[in-house]
A and B are shown apart, each in its own frame.
Chain A
Amino acid sequence: GQQVMQIPQYQHVQEGEDFTTYCNSSTTLSNIQWYKQRPGGHPVFLIQLVKSGEVKKQKRLTFQFGEAKKNSSLHITATQTTDVGTYFCAGSVTSGGSNYKLTFGKGTLLTVNP
């Protein structure tokens, strides 16, 4: 079945350093979503990428969708303590006709040392 692999599992950085998490799928994705979960909180939607090679930015966050639509990345420039949390990617594929399946990666836990 479809798998969405996310690396690294953990990342600890000093405040001000950059951070990147990567998501790789065994199958071509229809689109990919990114979520952030603060410690003790619930996942919150960040963005959705649909097009091959798409790049989107949200302030210090840059999201990319690979040309083959099998991988994606989230890059944070100059991390801040407010960036702490677990970042999940979620890929969707067609699963018979118009039915889609959404598969979450296991997430990358980011901690930031002030």
Chain B
Amino acid sequence: DADVTQTPRNRITKTGKRIMLECSQTKGHDRMYWYRQDPGLGLRLIYYSFDVKDINKGEISDGYSVSRQAQAKFSLSLESAIPNQTALYFCATSLAGLTDTQYFGPGTRLTVL
């Protein structure tokens, strides 16, 4: 969905490096999410935020941190990247809570060498 953008779209980094993935949305939604997708494992929730002052851990938050800089911006950081964090990362938004329709960004393909 063009209303949700992610940067970068592709990134190759080395073990131990700090990396930030950024997400911006123009849908005006309060709820934002970070998911990770691995082949055969589906989508797993890393962190979610219901507003600028609300940050919650998902099912696989270890090794990740997030920042909600504004209603429209939600960043995901890997403080010290490791190879098993190689994956496709999606940002998503929703109008209401987790049970509402999720609008996904185009994804960031991250490779950690």
Q: How far is it, in angstroms, between the C-alpha of A100 and the C-alpha of B102 when the chains are bound?
A: 14
B99 touches A106 (CB 8 A): no
CB-CB contacts of A22-57 with B at 8 A, as 1s and 0s? Answer: 000000001101010000011111001000000000
A106 touches B42 (CB 8 A): yes
A45 touches B101 (CB 8 A): yes
Residues of B in contact, count (CB < 8 Å)? 18
A100 touches B99 (CB 8 A): yes
Q: How far is it, in angstroms, between the C-alpha of A31 and the C-alpha of B1 when the chains are bound?
A: 23
Interface size range on A against B: 20 to 34
B44 touches A104 (CB 8 A): yes
Return A35 CB to nearest CB of chain B, in Å.
8
Q: How far is it, in angstroms, between the C-alpha of A90 and the C-alpha of B33 when the chains are bound?
A: 15
> Does A64 sit at the interface, judged by CB under 8 A?
no
A42 touches B42 (CB 8 A): no
Main secondary structure of the interface of B (DSSP, over half): loop
B41 touches A106 (CB 8 A): yes
Q: Report chain B residues within 8 Å CB of A33.
A: 101-102
A43 touches B43 (CB 8 A): yes
Return A89 CB to nearest CB of chain B, in Å.
9
Q: How far is it, in angstroms, between the C-alpha of A82 and the C-alpha of B99 when the chains are bound?
A: 28
A29's nearest neighbour on chain B, judged by CB, is B99
Q: How far is it, in angstroms, between the C-alpha of A99 and the C-alpha of B44 when the chains are bound?
A: 17
Q: Report chain A residues within 8 Å CB of B43.
A: 43, 88, 90, 104
Return A74 CB to nearest CB of chain B, in Å.
15
The chain B residues found within 8 Å of chain A, CB to CB, are 1, 40-45, 90, 97-99, 101-107
Of the A-B pairs whose beta carbons lie under 8 Å apart in the complex, a sample of 13, sorted by A's number, is A30-B99, A42-B105, A42-B107, A43-B104, A44-B1, A45-B102, A48-B101, A92-B99, A102-B99, A104-B43, A105-B42, A106-B42, A107-B42
